[in-house]
């Protein structure tokens, strides 16, 4: 087996990178206009593989935005300032002087918003010689692996998801309490909701499959005390990110990843203290989880 999913697609070729999720896609130049038939195959590949990767893409912030807009409205980050001419594009920069990285724990993006991000696109402008990989975890598998009793119990429970500008909009249970790498944070616009309850088990609006919906933004469980919430949240964090549910992507300059936040978590590994990593990131608005 060479891992290529032969004959499933007409215009693209997909090559899975792990048993759990993730596929590299070849045959597409994202810098060119993409016609609807190719886009439909990319959409199918995303739904099938949960996270897809393209190599050697010569992107600009404008091209990245144009590709993201084919999926819907952009979800602008409320705490982090975007690029000067492209406020909807974040430049994630980590230099040797920065201790922390952005996204350095398991999470799913903008979960604190009432309508969290459907998906995220991340393009690599500069990457370390080694290190700076990103891990992803399949939350359908995490849900399916729970016992029937646990599935029943979680059915009606909502996690309260909190955003926090000091933590780069990626607020966490206990660790990572310092400020974010070389990025400017701001107060979110007045009235913008940055704490939202969401079901711990959600149904994907396109595939109809159930997945766990947990990540670093979940601070407590609705209508429960902290003492009651904490052990269950910790168990679900641990359960949902076990190695058999994950893949790990090795970046090269020009790689682009596109992940579905509705059924995955991800983790940016901070293992390149002496090097610089620069990424461009756009998030697409999703719907209210149910």
Binding site for ligand SIN (CB under 6 A): 92, 102-103, 109, 120, 122, 134, 266, 268, 279, 281
Task: Report in angstroms how near the CB of residue 45 gets to ligand SIN at its nearest.
Answer: 20
If the CB atoms of residues 92 and 214 are measured against ligand SIN, the closer one turns out to be 92
Residue 280 designated active-site: no
Based on the residue annotation, tell me whether 281 is a catalytic residue of this protein: yes
DSSP H stretches of helix in 1-147: 36-49, 61-69, 139-144
What residues does 185 pair with on adjacent strands? 80
Q: How far is the CB of 266 from ligand SIN (least distance, A)?
A: 6
Closer residue to ligand SIN in complex, CB, 210/281: 281
H/E element, 226: helix 226-240
The token pair that represents 199 in the structure block: 């079901």
CB nearer ligand SIN, residue 49 or residue 134: 134
Query: Is 109 an annotated catalytic residue?
Result: yes
Catalytic annotation, pick one of 262, 266, 277, 280:
266
* Position closest to ligand SIN via CB: 103
Please, what is the minimum distance in Å from the beta carbon of residue 235 to ligand SIN? 23
In whole angstroms, what is the distance from residue 176 CA to residue 91 CA?
Answer: 20
In the chain the beta strands, taken as DSSP E runs, fall at 13-16, 23-26, 51-54, 90-94, 117-126, 134-138, 158-162, 195-199, 201-203, 210-212, 218-221, 246-249, 256-260, 264-268, 277-285
88, 98, 109, 260: the catalytic one is 109
CA distance 238 to 235: 5
Q: Annotated catalytic residue: which of 75, 77, 107, 277?
A: 107
9 vs 245 by CB, closer to ligand SIN: 245
56 is catalytic: no
Q: At which residue do the structure tokens 């620069």 appear?
A: 278
Residues classed as catalytic: 107, 109, 266, 281
């Amino acid at each position: 087996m060479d891992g290529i999913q032969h004959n499933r697609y007409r215009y693209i070729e997909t090559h899975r990178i792990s048993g759990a999720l993730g596929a590299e896609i070849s045959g597409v130049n994202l810098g060119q206009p993409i016609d609807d038939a190719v886009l439909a195959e990319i959409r199918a590949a995303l739904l099938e593989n949960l996270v897809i990767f393209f190599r050697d893409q010569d992107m600009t912030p404008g091209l990245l935005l144009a590709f993201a807009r084919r999926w819907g409205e952009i979800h602008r980050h409320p705490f982090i300032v975007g690029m000067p001419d492209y406020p909807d594009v974040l430049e994630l920069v980590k230099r040797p002087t920065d201790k922390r990285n952005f996204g350095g724990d398991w999470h799913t993006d903008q979960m604190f918003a009432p309508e969290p991000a459907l998906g995220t696109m991340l393009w690599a402008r500069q990457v370390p010689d080694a290190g700076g990989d990103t891990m992803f975890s399949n939350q359908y598998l995490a849900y399916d692996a729970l016992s029937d009793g646990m599935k029943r119990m979680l059915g009606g429970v909502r996690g309260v998801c909190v955003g926090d500008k000091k933590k780069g909009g990626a607020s966490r249970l206990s660790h990572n309490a310092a400020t974010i790498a070389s990025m400017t944070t701001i107060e979110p616009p007045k009235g913008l909701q940055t704490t939202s309850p969401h079901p711990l088990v959600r149904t994907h609006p396109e595939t109809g499959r159930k997945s766990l919906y947990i990540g670093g933004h979940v601070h407590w469980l609705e209508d429960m005390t902290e003492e009651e919430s904490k052990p269950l949240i910790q168990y679900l964090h641990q359960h949902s990110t076990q190695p058999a549910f994950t893949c790990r992507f090795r970046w090269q300059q020009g790689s682009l990843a596109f992940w579905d936040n509705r059924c995955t978590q991800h983790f940016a590994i901070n293992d390149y203290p002496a090097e610089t990593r620069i990424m461009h990131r756009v998030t697409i608005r999703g719907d209210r989880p149910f």
